[in-house]
Amino acid sequence: MNSGNPHRVVVIGSGFGGLFGTQALKRADVEITLIAKTTHHLFQPLLYQVATGILSEGEIAPSTREILARQRNARVVLGDVTGVDLDARTVTAVTVGRETVVPYDSLIVAAGAGQSYFGNDHFSEHAPGMKSIDDALELRGRIFGAFELAELASTPAEIERLMTFVVVGAGPTGVEMAGQIAELAHRTLKRDFRRVDPRSARIILIDGAPLVLPTFGQRLGGKARRQLESMGVEVMLKTKVTDVDGTGLVIEDEKGERHRIEALTKVWAAGVQASPLARILAEQTGAEIDRAGRIEVLPDCTLPGHPEVFVVGDMAALDGLPGVAQVAIQQSRYAAEAIKRRIAGKPEQAPFTYFDKGSMATISRFSAVASIGKVSLSGFFAWLMWLGVHLVYITGFKHRVTTLLHWAVSFLGRGRSQRTTTEQQVFARNVIKSVGEDAYPTLPRVAEDRPEQPKAG
């Protein structure tokens, strides 16, 4: 086919799906163009460690180009994909305001999902999500910045508002964030302030479900909850968030009663919404879009009428599979295999089946929960497994001793060596934007709490 020219594969996205799909085609006689809007592959499960000052952004977001440096059949293009023309078989991407049109013979769409605010997009400026490096650094600035402002505050109410941290969503990301903010407040920062005691910070984890980590089941969810509570996290379940603003949020409990929580710092880890590319593809194929914006794909991960177009990972709806890294990885490898078979003229594969390797979530240093088939693990052993899997993964790309060492050191140490924020990110500026200029009527004059002294001379 293609009169001697290599088969052109375009891959959209540099997340788990995009990267593993590209790597699975390493030895194939294809020409791959990977188009992504960031220059890095983001290891999203550790984003919370960037937000809470444990890891640097470079440690969880290696350069896509560097990972693929030795894969000569792949090239990387920085660009925002704005359109796919299924008839013309082209992808349109925008870089520096200018369009690039890339033709394909096969297409793997792995553009992932963003945060969903369930129709309340105005929550987002007050409660950033946890989906990108930008999000994590923004939250880093807000979390550390809240303590900075609390140190300058004067009234108890104001201090409480500044030192209350609310995490919405009790899935793995929310649990990990709440746990790490608690460790930060109760341990890391305990000697750093003079007027406020970070140990008095409130950390609240809210979810509408009756369980923490609901996908892990009753037993592990219960263990995770008790572990969080022992770390000082208040867990509010069967609780909905009905409004979020600059200085707090409104929750509705089981009985339908509404309460307001004053809290400057809110983290949204509650829901996901597939990339808008799903809709663009649905319009051209008549495929269904589900509530999370995902496009329904055929059992072989392709679009109806377009066997050359695969949609994988968080963007695809298939058999109710969850939006986790393993699904994206396995689907993109399945897509790569399908492309290789077609080029070789081999028969098509059987429909995609997901092999569940299990799932894990860490709650604090040395404590995690893991669910592997019928086996449930918790505590230190689960944490060791979690650590091993993550270490192997993140260092798998580079085969460099330095990366492993770096990561191990960051990870095992108690330090928060990555507290640095830019001036642009220093909380102050975001607060002004997010809460308005009148939110701090009582910000003290530091001089006021001491009687005027006679001057030394």
Closest distance between a copy of itself and the C-beta of residue 359, in Å? 26
- The span from the CA of 42 to the CA of 410, in Å, is 18
Output the CA–CA distances (angstroms, integers) from residue 71 to 7, 170, 345, 393, in the order listed. 16, 39, 24, 19
Closest distance between a copy of itself and the C-beta of residue 452, in Å? 7
Handedness of CA 292, 294, 297, 303 (dihedral sign): positive
In the complex with a copy of itself, the residue whose CB is nearer, 226 or 400, is 400
In the complex with a copy of itself, the residue whose CB is nearer, 8 or 238, is 8
Kindly state the helix (H) or strand (E) to which residue 262 belongs, with its residue range. strand 258-262
Catalytic residue among 59, 138, 158, 176: 176
In the complex with a copy of itself, the residue whose CB is nearer, 77 or 389, is 77
For residue 176, indicate whether it is catalytic: yes
DSSP string, 31-87: EEEEEESSSB---GGGHHHHHTTSS-HHHH--BHHHHTTT-TTEEEEE-EEEEEETT
Q: To 10 degrees, what angle do helices 427-435 and 133-152 make?
A: 90
Closest distance between a copy of itself and the C-beta of residue 401, in Å? 8
Q: Look at the block and give the residue holding tokens 């309340």.
A: 120
In the complex with a copy of itself, the residue whose CB is nearer, 61 or 159, is 61
Closest by Cα among 8, 10, 18 to 111: 18
Amino acid letter, residue 65:
R
In the complex with a copy of itself, the residue whose CB is nearer, 34 or 236, is 34
In the complex with a copy of itself, the residue whose CB is nearer, 103 or 210, is 103
How crowded is residue 27: how many other Cβ atoms within 10 Å of its Cβ?
9
Closest by Cα among 51, 3, 86 to 302: 86
Closest distance between a copy of itself and the C-beta of residue 240, in Å? 31
- The span from the CA of 345 to the CA of 136, in Å, is 46
Closest distance between a copy of itself and the C-beta of residue 371, in Å? 31
Neighbouring residues of 95: CB distance < 8 A, sequence distance ≥ 6: 77, 78, 79, 80
Closest distance between a copy of itself and the C-beta of residue 129, in Å? 13
Amino acid letter, residue 204:
I
Which residues are marked as active site?
Answer: 176
